[in-house]
Amino acid sequence: MIMDIEALLAEGKSIRIHPQGYSMYPLFVPGRDEAVIAPAAEKELKRGDVVLYRREGSILVLHRIWRRTREGFFMVGDNQKETEGPLKREQIKGILCQVIRKGKCFSVNNLFYRLFSAVWLMLRPLRPVLSKTAAGVKKVFRG
């Protein structure tokens, strides 16, 4: 199946996937949300874009571009503090173009999404504290 994903993107087709794990929480909740990924071959990639890439000799990962340098791309999950990289441009297979949440679709060009992405990237150093605080608030309200 993984080879099919890369082949479809290489052919210029978009795909829908169900992201696994919590590295991109709160953007993606496993079992609830889907990601629509478009080919990244001709796209100009920039800070804040969510991309599907292959780790060197390993798995496909969906994370956000933290920064781009001469050495390559540095990635970070929305629920992570540590960055990964540098990655080569060839490792990037696709770019997030839409999110499907509870059957409703929204574009990454949506103003609310762009604002969320920008703020969330700025808050990267504070994410562990924010996650613990949010979990505590949820616990209080759930009883």
DSSP string, 86-132: EE-GGGEEEEEEEEEETTEEEETTSHHHHHHHHHHHHTGGGHHHHHH
Residue 1 pLDDT > 80 = no
Q: pLDDT tens across 121-136, in order?
A: 888 888 777 777 877 8
Residue 88 pLDDT > 70 = yes
What's the pLDDT score for residue 17? Answer: 95
Instruction: Report phi then psi at 59, rounded to 5.
Output: -90, 165
What's the pLDDT score for residue 71? Answer: 96
Cα–Cα dist 122/127, whole Å: 10
What's the pLDDT score for residue 121? Answer: 87
What's the pLDDT score for residue 143? Answer: 64
Cα–Cα dist 43/39, whole Å: 8
| Token pair belonging to 78 | 């929305």
Cα–Cα dist 141/122, whole Å: 28
How far CA 104 is from CA of 2, 23, 28, 120, in Å, comes to 25, 22, 13, 22
What's the pLDDT score for residue 114? Answer: 92
**Residue 69: HSE in the Cβ half-sphere, 13 Å Cα cutoff:** 8
